[in-house]
Structure 1
Amino acid sequence: MALATIPYAASPLLTPHCRRKVHSVISCQIDIVKAKQAPESTPSPAKLRIKIAGAWDALMRWSQRKSSYVSTSRRSSEAWAGVRKVVVFGGGSFGTAMGSILALQKSELEVVLLLRDEQLSSDINVKHMNSKYLQGCSLPHNVRATTNVAEAISGAQYAVHAVPVQSSRAFLHGIKDVLPPTTPLLCVSKGLEVTTGSMMSELIPSALGRCQPVVFLSGPSFAKEVLEKQPTGLVAASTDLQLANTVQALLSSPAMRVNTTSDVVGIETCGALKNVLAIGAGIIQGLGLGQNALAAFIVQGCSEIRYLVEAQGGKASTINGLGGIGDICLTCYGSLSRNRSVGVRLGQGEQLQDILASSSQVAEGVATAAVVVLLARRFRVSLPVLTGIAQILEGNISCEEAVNEIMGLPQIQGEA
C-alpha cells in the first residue's frame, strides 16, 4: 500500500511542503511493513524449552476444560446403561477383535459371535481363543460363539456387522426377519459389492428391505493390535450423529479414541479404495522399486480417492483424517495388511489364484478393484493408478507393464 502512493509524492501538482509530508508518511508506512516482516529472533535453548512447556500446559488446560463439560466416563456410563448383550455377525479377525473390545468395556455384558463354522464356534467356546484368525490372542470371559441365528440376535441391543462385503447381502437377507428394525448396526465391513457396485450404506437397506440404524466404523486398526489394547484411533460415520456419538461413548477407552462424522460417503469410499491401493503398494514392494516409488504411488492414489469422494458428494477433507490417510498408510505400509501381502506376492511373480487359495482370510481389495473402474466411468473421474491395479488383477497386463504405463502418463503442470 505504501509503495503504491510513491508516484503521487513526486507529482508536480504538490507543493514542496506537501511533498515532505507525503514522503514522511511513506517512510513510516515502509518502516511498519518492514517491522511486520522482520522474523523473530530464535530464542535460546533454555527459553525454547520454556515456550514448549508453556504450549503443552496450555493444551492440557484446554483439554481439561473441554472434558469438564461432560466427562468421558459419564458419557460412557450413560451409553452403556441398559445394554446387556451385543451380537457380532462374523467370526473373522476384526469381528472377533471388536466383540472383545466391547466385552472389556462392561464385564457383565454378553457378547455373542454368530458364525457359520461349527468347529470354530466350539473351539472359541472351549479355548476362549479364535485359533483360526487370531492365534495366540485370548478372548474375554464374556465372549462366546454360536451358529444359531435366533439365539445370537435375541435380546441384543447392538449388532456389529463384520461379514465380508461380498457375502453381506445374502447374510442380511437371511436374518432380516429375526433382526429387529430398531437394532443399531455397527458396520466394520469395507468394500464395494461386485455385482451391483454398492457400498455397504446402500447394500444394508437393500438387503434388509428397510432402513436400519447404522454407524460405519473405519480407521487405521489391525485386529491383532486392537485386541491387544494397543492405542488406536477410529472414526464413526453416520447420518445420525446422535447415534455416532453414542457409539463413540461405547467404544472410547484409554486405548481407543473415536471421532465422529456425518460423511458416510467419504468414509466408505476411502475404506473401500484403500484396500485396492494397498495391493498396488504391495506390488511396488514386491517388485523392489524402492521407497521413492512407493511414496509417489500412495500420494497419487490418495488424490484419486479424493476425486472419487468429491464426485459422489463426499467431503474432500475426509481423506485427511483417520478414515482416509490414516487407514491408507496403515494398509499400504503395515506388515499385517492382507491386501498389501497379496500385492507383494503378485510383484514377486506369484499367480493371483494361487495367492487367494493359500489364504484363509479375505482380501477385499481384489473384488473391489473391478468395481472401482465402473465407478470411475459413472462419475467421469480419471483413476489411472487404481485402474492399473484392476488391470493387473484381471490378468490383462503384468505388474511391470502397469508401472511402465503409469510412469509414461503425461506429467502434471501447475500442481504440487
Structure 2
Amino acid sequence: MQHYKTIVIAGAGVFGTAMAERLSWNTTNTVILWSIEEEVVDDINKNHRNTKYFPTHFLNTSIRATTDKQIFRHADCILLVIPSKVIVPFTEEIKSLTKSSCMVINLAKGMSDDGAFITEQIPFSHTASMKGPTFAIEVLHGLPSSFTFGGKREDYEVFKHEVLKDTGLYLDYTSDIRSVELMSILKNMYAIAIGLVSGRFNSPNVDFLIYTKAVGEMRRFLSLFECDTETIFCYCGLGDLGLTSLNDLSRNRTLGLLMGKGFSIENSGGSATVIEGSRTVKLMGEMTREKGVADSFPLVQALYRIMYEGASLNDYMASVFA
C-alpha cells in the first residue's frame, strides 16, 4: 500500500532545492519549497527552474513553491534548510500551523546564538537531525548520497522507507540526535584546520596526519558533551569530515587553504563562511579552556590562537605537529 506524504522544505536555496529535486523522484511525495524570495518562487512555479542558485538546471515539474506559511498546515514532514541562526524563531512561528504528527527534520549545520543544539530548542514532538557527506550539486545531479538520521527509531523507519523510497538517498541511524548535531558543527572547524596544512604543504601525508588528529578530537568532543562516541563512525562523522576537509568544493577547507597560503582572514562577519567557521572555533576554543581540558584539543587551540590571538602561521604549524 502506498503512503502519500506532503514534504515541505523550508528554504529554497542551494541545498533546499537539491533536496526537493531528489525527493520528487518518489512519486508518492508531494514536494513543496517554501521561501521568502518571491523571484525564486515565481521562477520555480513558472519555469521549473531556480535560476538564482542553479542557472543551468531544470527541476522536476511536480515541484511547487510558495511564500505562504499556511502551507505548513498540510505538511507531513518539514525539512529545515534555512540558516541555523533563524531556525528557532522560525519554528516557534510555524508551530501553531503544524499537525501534531508532523516530522520536523533539521538539515542546517550550526548552533543557535546561545551555543545550544538547535533540535533541543525547536518545539515539536517529532524532531530529528539529518546530516552527512552531501555536496548540494551532487545531490541535485542524482548521485547516490548519504545522511545520518538522528531521532526516534519510528520516525527513521517512516522517513527511510516511505519518504526516501526511489530517491537514491541513503541513511544510517542513531538515536542520539545531539551527536548528529555536534558532528555537523565540528566538521566545519576541522576542515579549516586541515585546509591550513594543505595550503602550506599540499601533501596527502600531512593532510591525513591532521585528519587523524581531528577524528580523535571529535570523538573527545562527543564524550565532553556526553554523546554517543560511536557516532563518529556514521555518515555524519567520518563521512562528512572527509568530504568537507579533503575536497576543494568545500568552502571551509577553502578558508583554511587561503590562510595556509598566507592570506589574511578578516573575522568581522562580512562573509557567511567566515562567520560560521569562526563562531565554532571561538565557541569551542573558549569552552575547552573554561572546562580546563584545552590540552586535550590542540587543533582547536591552535585554530583559536591563529584566528583570535594573533598567532603566526608558523606558530600554528608548530602546535598541530607537536
Judge same fold: TM > 0.5, yes or no: yes
Amino acid in structure 2 at the alignment position of 1:384: P
Is 1:101 paired with 2:22? Answer: yes
Residue 199 (str. 1) matches residue 117 (str. 2): yes
CA distance in 1 between partners of 2:61 and 2:268 (Å)? 35
From 394, 397, 400, the counterpart of 2:311: 397
Structure 2 unpaired stretches of 5+: none
Partner of 1:275, secondary structure, is helix
Q: Which residue of 1 aligns with 2:233?
A: 320
1:133 match = 53
For residues 134 and 281 of structure 1, the distance between their equivalents in structure 2, rounded to whole angstroms, comes to 29
Q: Rate the CA distance shift 1:180–1:373 in 2: closer, same or farther, 3 A.
A: farther
Q: CA deviation at 1:234?
A: 1.9
Mapped to 2, the partners of 1:114 and 1:380 lie a distance apart of 44
Describe how 1:254-273 pairs up with structure 2 within 5 A. Answer: 255-273=168-186
The alignment status of 1:175 with 2:94, answered yes or no, reads yes
Residue matched to 1:38: none
CA contact (8 A) 2:147 2:172 kept: yes
Question: Cα gap change, 1:252/1:82 in structure 2, threshold over 3 Å: closer, same or farther?
Answer: closer
Instruction: Give the 3-state SS of the residue equivalent to 1:216 in structure 2.
Output: strand
Contact 1:385 1:406 in 2 (8 A): yes
Match of 1:376 in 2: 288
Whether contact under 8 Å (2:267, 2:274) holds in the other structure is no
Number of corresponding residues: 319
> Does the 8 A contact of 1:301 with 1:386 survive in 2?
no
**1:144 is the counterpart of 2:93:** no
For the residues of structure 2 that align with 1:395 and 1:134, how far apart are their CA atoms?
A: 39
Q: Which structure has the higher relative contact order (CA within 8 Å, separation 6+)?
A: 2
Percent of aligned positions with the same letter in both sequences?
A: 26
Which amino acid is the alignment partner of residue 31 of structure 2?
A: V
Over aligned residue pairs, what C-alpha RMSD do you find? 2.5
2:24 alignment partner, SS class:
helix
Query: Does the 8 Å contact 1:345/1:355 carry over to 2?
Result: no
**Residues 258-407 of structure 1: matches in 2 within 5 Å?**
258-353=171-266, 357=270, 364-377=276-289, 380-381=292-293, 382-394=296-308, 396-407=310-321
TM-score by length of 1: 0.70
Structure 1 distance, partners of 2:308, 2:94, is 34
**Inter-CA distance 400–177: structure 2 relative to 1 (3 Å threshold):** farther
1:105 CA drift (Å): 0.8
Q: Secondary structure at the match of 2:187?
A: helix
How far has the Cα of 1:358 moved from its partner?
6.6
Is the contact made by 1:86 and 1:112 (CA closer than 8 Å) also made in structure 2?
Answer: yes
Letter of the structure 2 residue corresponding to residue 258 of structure 1 = L
The residue number in structure 2 matching 1:116 is 36
**Structure 1 unmatched ranges of 5 or more:** 1-76, 205-209, 410-416
CA distance in 2, matches of 1:227, 1:123: 17
Measure how far apart 1:171 and its partner are.
2.2
Distance 2:193 2:46 in 1: 40
CA spacing shift, 1:355–1:347, aligned 2, 3 Å: farther
Q: Deviations over 1:377-403 (max 9, x none)?
A: 465542121232233333632333222
Q: Deviations over 1:340-390 (max 9, x none)?
A: 12222232333434997577x787333222222244346554212123223
Q: Is the 8 A contact 2:109 2:185 kept in 1?
A: yes
Larger radius of gyration: 1
Cα–Cα, structure 1 residues 371 and 302, in superposed 2: closer, same or farther, change >3 Å? same
Distance of aligned partners of 1:314 and 1:364 in 2 relative to their CA distance in 1, 3 Å threshold: same
